[in-house]
Amino acid sequence: MRELLIATHNPGKLREFAAIFADLNLRLYSLADVGIQETIEETGQTFAENARLKAEGYLALSGLPTLADDSGLEVAALGGAPGVYSARYGGLSGPAQLQYLLDQMRDIPWHQRLARFVCVIALAHPDHPTELVEGTLPGVIEFAPRGSGGFGYDPLFYVLDEDATLAELSAERKNQISHRAQAARAAREVLARWQRSSGS
C-alpha cells in the first residue's frame, strides 16, 4: 500500500496527516488531487458512523485506501451536545456560536462544565475491513472566550493540564495533544500494519 486518500479539501489537514505519517512512505492525496467534487452526506448519529460513511464512500469513488475523520465537542451538562452537530450548533458560526453555547450553560457551575473533544478516524481499504480509531481530549467549558489562536470552540475549551484554553496554546502544542493528533497516531499504527501485511 503506497497511496492514501485523505477525505478533505483542507490543505492544512493534509499537512497534519503528512507529518504524522512521514515515515510510512505513503503518497497522500486530497479529494481535490483526485478530482472528487462529490460530498458524502454525514447522516450518521455518531462520529464513528459519519467517519465510516465518508471513508467507505470516498473509497468507492476513488478506488484508493481512504482516511476520513469526524470530530466535535461533547458537553456533559448538555447531554453530550453539540456532538455530531458541533459545526452547525444553533444554526450559527463564529463568535455567535460560542455565545450560543455560553447561553446554554449560563447557570452551570465550574465543576459541572466538563467537556471533551472527540475525533474518530475511519480507514477504508479495498482488501481490509474498515477500521475505526478514536482520540479524545478532556477539558472544561470556560465562562468567556480566552485566547486568539485555534478555531471553532478552542477559545472556550480549557485544558486542565495546560492551564490554558486551546486558543491560548501554540499551534505546535495543540497539535501534540489534540483529539485529532491522538486519533491520527492510532491511525498510523493501522496503516503500518496494513503495509506490513501487503509487503509494501
> Which residues line the annotated binding site for substrate?
8-13, 71, 151-154, 174, 179-180
Residues annotated in a binding site for Mg(2+): 41, 70
Residues annotated in a binding site: 8-13, 41, 70-71, 151-154, 174, 179-180
- Residues 23, 33, 69, 70: which is the catalytic one? 70
Q: What are phi and psi of 26, to 5 degrees?
A: -105, 145
Task: List the Cα angle 72/99/139 in 5-degree steps.
Answer: 45
Asked if residue 96 lies in contact with residue 145, where contact means CB atoms within 8 angstroms, the answer is no
3-state secondary structure 151-173: CCCHHHEEEHHHCEEHHHCCHHH
Cell output for 132: 475505526
Largest CA distance in the chain: 57
Cell 493534509 found at = 14
Annotated catalytic residue 163: no
Cell 462544565 found at = 113
Residues taking part in catalysis: 70
